[in-house]
Amino acid sequence: MANKGIDNSAARVQGNDGGYFIITTRWNTEIVEGLLSGAKGALLGVGVDPRQIRVECVPGAFEIPLACQAAAARSDCDAVIALGAVIRGGTPHFEYVAGECTRGIGQVALQSGKPVAFGVLTVDTLEQAMERAADNEENKGAEAALSAVEMVNLLRVLAD
């Protein structure tokens, strides 16, 4: 898979001990299912054991950071992968929801010291969201999953 910015060789899993926690939303279910499918496929593709993958769902993108924080606090969590979609589509909520979600996810990563991959689409239209959640090389769930594996590997190297 030739995802932009992701080094697939660096993303090959190097241990089957930890867990990958995927946080999804009930908002924009169809889009999020596409992201989830991409993320799971990417994790399995780089050697993650299915038993290492746990999926939990929150109401919407605004709730993602808190769930990520709870997941990252677990000793059996190596990385968190946040998946969701905030679609501008005329909602005055957009800037607030997208902004808080993005900021919160970054904050959880820095405060927990664990990778929290950002697979939350922030787009203008449903069509744009569908393009990024499609079953192809542009799938942003897959990109987020591979970045999580790559960061787990890097943090292990840096901890030595």
Using the Cα atoms of residue 121, residue 127, residue 131 and residue 135 in order, give the sign of their dihedral.
positive
Q: Which residues, 6+ apart, have CB-to-CB distance to 152 below 8 Å?
A: 14, 18, 78, 79, 115
**HSE-CB for 94 with a 13 A CA cutoff:** 12
Q: Which is nearer to ligand INI, 122 or 139 (CB)?
A: 122
71/75 Cα distance (integer angstroms): 9
Least separation in angstroms between CB 54 and ligand INI: 20
Helix H or strand E segment including 129: helix 126-133
- Per the DSSP assignment, residues forming a β-bridge with 82 are 23, 118
Least separation in angstroms between CB 78 and ligand INI: 25
Least separation in angstroms between CB 127 and ligand INI: 14
Interacting residues toward ligand INI by CB under 6 A: 25, 27-28, 59-63, 84-87, 91, 93-94, 97
Residue 93 designated active-site: yes
CA neighbor of 35 nearest in space, from 151, 134, 149: 134
Q: Which is nearer to ligand INI, 22 or 97 (CB)?
A: 97
Q: Which is nearer to ligand INI, 26 or 156 (CB)?
A: 26
Q: Which is nearer to ligand INI, 41 or 60 (CB)?
A: 60
41/139 Cα distance (integer angstroms): 11
From the list 12, 54, 88, 93, the catalytic residue is 93
Least separation in angstroms between CB 48 and ligand INI: 25
Minimal CB distance to ligand INI: which residue?
60
Question: Looking at the annotation, which residues are catalytic?
Answer: 93
